[in-house]
Structure 1
Amino acid sequence: MDEISASKAGTFEFDKDFIINRLGYGTMQLTGNGVWGPYKDPDQAVDLIKKSFDLGVNFVDTADSYGPWHADTYLAKALKEYPDSDKIFISDKVGQVRTGENEWTPVGAPAFLRQEVELSLRLFDRDHEDLLFLHRIDDHYPIEDQIGELKKLQDEGKIKHIGVSQVTLDELKAAQKVAKIDAVENMYNVGHHKGDDAIVDYAEKEGMAFLPWFPLDTGNLTKADSPLNDIAKKYNASSAQIALAWLLKRSNNIIPIPGTSSEDHLKDNLNAANVELSDEDFEKLSGLEK
């Protein structure tokens, strides 16, 4: 059996001190229904995060809005209990509040964004955010004010790298006029990518990381009737592994961050690093979106 390790997916370099394996882990599923409330077994959540570290994950994507704060609390505990946790990098997000199950409201007030960063640093017991995303642009405030506040925090040493999430290409370019943008996080997967292909290509040209959220389309790409299944059989792989292998082959700046609450699924996802798609199968998969 091939070794299961995120390190086999290759690396992406944000800077000389911030080099990550290209298969990360997302914490959003470590919450209650509708990404609201605590996970059913907090100790299991902590153990799963630590297991991801054991399997070579050194990049975790999270947000205070997951729960809210519950996923971050489990991550903070896992980091505290794990040896060499200073070698684990965190991708964090600010700019959304929760008012109930499945309810998300952008809030881009600069003072609020600053408070979120300060609280996250306190929770994670760190002096800076490795990568900090504006989770959503809030139309009530100029983008210059929202990204500008993150730039101020960066100048103070509290943020190393700034990213933007769920943006258009024009919004990305507008953010670049305010600060250096090092990452984009948009919904992107083998079944839903055409609208953002240009952003992936632009980000690659600019040296930015691209984090695809919903890399498995919340399970839709792994269902029994998934069109990925025939190709998966060819590679003796799961449909999830094929979906992730497609992302890894699509561009070297793509960093998939699949989330799961299952250790078996975690191992299955990371085993995607052992799948090498042929150019023919990559093109066939790229044409699945109607």
Structure 2
Amino acid sequence: MTSASSALGGEYQLAVDLTVSRVGFGAMQLAGPGVFGPPRDRERSIQVLRRAVELGINHIDTCDYYGPWVVNELIAEALHPYGDDLVLVTKIGAYRDHQGGWLPLGHPDALRAQVHDNLRRLRLETLDLVYLRYLGDQPGITLADQLGALIELREQGLLRNIGLSNVSTEQFEEAQRHTRIAAVQNLYNVVNRTSAELLGKTAAAGAAFVPFFPLGSGFADSRAREDGVLRAVAERRGATQTQVSLAWLLRRSPNILLIPGTSSVAHLQENTAAGSLELTADDVAELDALVADGETLEAAH
């Protein structure tokens, strides 16, 4: 393990030929407000991407419908030609309307087209990992149909690994019957444990679990109970509440990979430092007690 990967929470073997830093980078916030349109400061977005790589991050999560298209084009502009160890992962299964709405697009033909679009904008010949953003069965289209399209693309050499996003435990288990699922992206953080069962299932299956919204919504709402516990732990460790929340996730399960996003170099460096933050057993116990598995902080009140 290199010193850089150690500072990033160590490494995780995502696939036989794919090792990633456990602290990665989610590129969603590099687009404009509402993840729609160009960034307010294009050069700053470029700087964030380049700084992420300088810090040793080799796992970048992106998507063609961030912008749409904007973020993938920024990544290619900032980082191409890519380093040998850089792992770019993307999602398919949705699109944006002219008002910025998020709509399902899960027909197998559409999924195939989306993979080709991601390849073209990222200037790649093969995608390391493609998540199917599952938005439910659509008329005449099942999860098996959608996975079949991805399996076919993998056989063609256009992608290496298949992941799922926004799925239930049952859907994950169904997908596993069709093919190996390398990773799952679902909502999970220190104040929302509704995917706790699925986290356990992925760990048992040897799949990565990648929380989206890893910092939760409680920071914006400043709930007293949440802030009290996080603040106390952060003060003891000389860290920020953000860093404590991310460090807790790294301790929660060894298959958790982090992709906190930001459009600020300062926040990027703050998030990255969470990979080397040491929490004590008492710290972890206090944070664990915030919310029961399967619940959210809102439900606990």
Q: What TM-score, normalized to structure 2?
A: 0.90
- Once the two structures are TM-superposed, the CA of residue 131 in structure 1 deviates from its matched residue by 0.7
Aligned residues of 2:6 and 2:276 also touching (Cα < 8 A) = no
Residue 127 of structure 2 aligns to which amino acid in structure 1? E
Which residue number corresponds to residue 205 of structure 1? 204
Aligned residues of 1:222 and 1:239 also touching (Cα < 8 A) = no
Equivalent of residue 133 in structure 2, options 132, 135, 150: 135
Residue 253 of structure 2 aligns to which amino acid in structure 1? S
- Once the two structures are TM-superposed, the CA of residue 102 in structure 1 deviates from its matched residue by 5.2
Residue 168 of structure 2 aligns to which amino acid in structure 1? T
Instruction: Write the distance in 1 (CA, Å) between the matches of 2:165 and 2:176.
Output: 13
Q: What TM-score, normalized to structure 1?
A: 0.93
1:127-173 per-position Cα deviation (integer Å, ceiling 9, x unaligned):
11101000123421111110110011111111111000010000111
Residue 52 of structure 1 aligns to which amino acid in structure 2? A
Aligned residues of 2:44 and 2:264 also touching (Cα < 8 A) = no
- Once the two structures are TM-superposed, the CA of residue 101 in structure 1 deviates from its matched residue by 4.8
Equivalent of residue 288 in structure 2, options 274, 278, 286: 286
Instruction: Write the distance in 2 (CA, Å) between the matches of 1:24 and 1:219.
Output: 22
Which residue number corresponds to residue 88 of structure 2? 90
- Once the two structures are TM-superposed, the CA of residue 122 in structure 1 deviates from its matched residue by 1.5
Which residue number corresponds to residue 257 of structure 1? 259
- Once the two structures are TM-superposed, the CA of residue 209 in structure 1 deviates from its matched residue by 0.4
Aligned residues of 1:22 and 1:256 also touching (Cα < 8 A) = yes
Residue 281 of structure 1 aligns to which amino acid in structure 2? D
- Provide the aligned length of Structure 1 versus Structure 2: 284
1:166-193 per-position Cα deviation (integer Å, ceiling 9, x unaligned):
1000011111122211100001100111
Which residue number corresponds to residue 42 of structure 1? 42
Matches within 5 A, 1:118-129: 118-129=116-127
- Once the two structures are TM-superposed, the CA of residue 260 in structure 1 deviates from its matched residue by 0.4
Which residue number corresponds to residue 15 of structure 1? 15
Instruction: Write the distance in 1 (CA, Å) between the matches of 2:196 and 2:222.
Output: 24
Q: Report the secondary structure of 1:282's partner residue.
A: helix
Stretch moving more, 135-144 or 184-193: 135-144
Q: Report the secondary structure of 1:132's partner residue.
A: strand
Equivalent of residue 107 in structure 2, options 88, 106, 109: 109
Instruction: Write the distance in 2 (CA, Å) between the matches of 1:122 and 1:86.
Output: 19
Change (3 A) 1:101 1:186: farther
- Once the two structures are TM-superposed, the CA of residue 90 in structure 1 deviates from its matched residue by 0.8
Which residue number corresponds to residue 154 of structure 1? 154
Instruction: Write the distance in 1 (CA, Å) between the matches of 2:80 and 2:89.
Output: 17
Q: Percent identity?
A: 35
Gaps of 5+ in 2: 292-299
Which residue number corresponds to residue 66 of structure 1? 66
- Once the two structures are TM-superposed, the CA of residue 280 in structure 1 deviates from its matched residue by 2.0
- Once the two structures are TM-superposed, the CA of residue 33 in structure 1 deviates from its matched residue by 1.5
1:260-285 per-position Cα deviation (integer Å, ceiling 9, x unaligned):
01111111101111211112211211
- Once the two structures are TM-superposed, the CA of residue 28 in structure 1 deviates from its matched residue by 0.7
Which residue number corresponds to residue 188 of structure 2? 188
Residue 139 of structure 1 aligns to which amino acid in structure 2? D
Gaps of 5+ in 1: none
1:69-118 per-position Cα deviation (integer Å, ceiling 9, x unaligned):
1111111112216xx52321011100111114552111101111101111
CA RMSD of superposed structures (Å): 1.8
Which residue number corresponds to residue 29 of structure 1? 29
